[in-house]
Amino acid sequence: MEEAVSAADANRKFSLILRRVREGRSYVVTSHGQPVARIVPVGKNKGVAKSAREALLSHLERQPLVNAGSWTRDELYEDEG
């Protein structure tokens, strides 16, 4: 189970939190009550990036192709300002 810790407390107690993470604990860092990050042992989320990448690629493969015509390099980098 993950323990919630505010960003301010995580900052003040970072060394302690790292020691506890080394022991196997996990933390959810919150800012204004909203979760913003996780601090977990390195091996705990092995494969998360791989499954996220596979999910993204699968989603992109299902998207319809869009014909945007041909663009020149100058048109792509045109400054509107």
Q: How confident is the model at residue 81 (pLDDT cuts 50, 70, 90)?
A: low
Rg value, the chain, Cα: 21
Both structure tokens of 51: 């499954």
Distance CA 9, CA 2 (A): 15
Residue 7: closest CA among 26, 25, 30, 34: 30
pLDDT digits (tens, 9 = 90+) for 14-73: 999 999 999 999 999 999 999 999 999 987 666 677 888 889 999 999 999 888 889 888
Element (H, E) at 11: helix 7-12
Distance CA 77, CA 65 (A): 23
Q: Residue 25: CB partners within 8 Å, gap ≥ 6?
A: 3
Which structural domains are found in the chain, ordered by start?
Answer: 2-61 (3.40.1620.10)
